[in-house]
Chain A
Amino acid sequence: MKWIFAFMVCTAVVFAQSAAEVEREHSRIIALENAWNQATQQKDSAALTMLLAPELVYVEYDGSLMGKAQYMASVQSPLVHPARIASESMTVHFYGDIAVVNGVYRESGAKDGKSYILRERFTDTWIHRNESWMCVASQSTLISH
């Protein structure tokens, strides 16, 4: 009887630890998504370099495909001035060493001297590598309804 009780306690502890770990990683991923938004708004290349994997595959809302270098160059463009960037309704699914994030992205600012507002749905795939998470794929689609 004591052995059964001890087994049940151990199982509960393992589950609790596992749930706490998932919760911690979930918070980390959401924080990284927000850090990405901030880095984009501030055109912070050093931060983006840390967040994005060298093999990044990036699909912009207009369907254009970019690698990491092209994406970072687009962020640095002097023609684009994002004033506000925010992500909301984010969900995170974990599959071993990868995390898939889905959410809604809102950006407003000025481009070529004209103001713009974007509302997009995005999917980002993050990979856990060398004790940190890096984004390997990101795609946005304009919400048209």
Chain B
Amino acid sequence: MKTRVFSVILVCSAITFVAGQSPGDSSVITNVLALEHAWNQAEQRKDTRALDAIFDNALVYVDYDGSFRTKAEFLARVKSTTSHPEQEITESMTGHMFGSTVIVTGLYLTRGLENGKPYARRGRFVDTWTFRDGKWLCVASQATPILR
């Protein structure tokens, strides 16, 4: 419970902090990257409340296997009892700002248990964030395994 509260506070703090910036401010990118880290923590803790605050309702999510998920489907998968992520790490993240849109690229590494079997996935992601109603929301996210 404590971890969930912590995640919600972390996400809300990041959103509030970012909302206080002018969209033209270069520090916006740094703060959107903070939201990326908050996302990892929330996903690892299965904190769907925190994730709900990060995603736009029309989120377009493409998973590592090419499957498409809506926001509701993504949150349901996170909450699933058959999935137990133990480690969610992102690295080499870069943000590109286009007006009130930030595109983040980076590498991800996830480890855990799914249906009782261990998994480890490494890939590249692109997330699209837009500034809406005074906060930054992720509107699109896609993962691609690194094959070479």
Residues of B within 8 A of A (CB): 56, 58, 60, 62-68, 96, 98-101, 103, 105, 123-126, 128, 130, 132, 139-140, 142-148
In this complex, what residue of A is CB-closest to B126?
Answer: A139
Q: How far is the CA of A63 from the CA of B145 in the complex (A)?
A: 6
Q: How far is the CA of A136 from the CA of B98 in the complex (A)?
A: 9
A142 neighbours in B (Cβ, 8 Å)? 66
- 10 interchain pairs, CB-CB under 8 A: A95-B132, A96-B99, A97-B98, A127-B98, A136-B96, A141-B62, A141-B64, A142-B66, A144-B66, A145-B66
Min CB distance, B84 to chain A, in Å? Answer: 21
Q: Is the CB of A65 within 8 A of B103?
A: no
Min CB distance, B126 to chain A, in Å? Answer: 5
A144 neighbours in B (Cβ, 8 Å)? 65-66
Given A98-B101, A137-B126, A141-B62; A62-B148 close (CB under 8 Å): yes
Q: Is the CB of B146 within 8 A of A57?
A: no
B60 neighbours in A (Cβ, 8 Å)? 91, 93, 100, 102, 123
Q: Which secondary structure dominates where chain A touches chain B? A: strand
- Contacts A102-B60, A139-B142, A140-B144 given; 14 further ones with Cβ under 8 A? A55-B96, A59-B144, A62-B144, A63-B123, A63-B148, A95-B130, A102-B140, A121-B62, A121-B66, A121-B67, A127-B99, A139-B125, A141-B62, A141-B144
Q: Is the CB of B101 within 8 A of A127?
A: yes
In this complex, what residue of A is CB-closest to B100?
Answer: A96
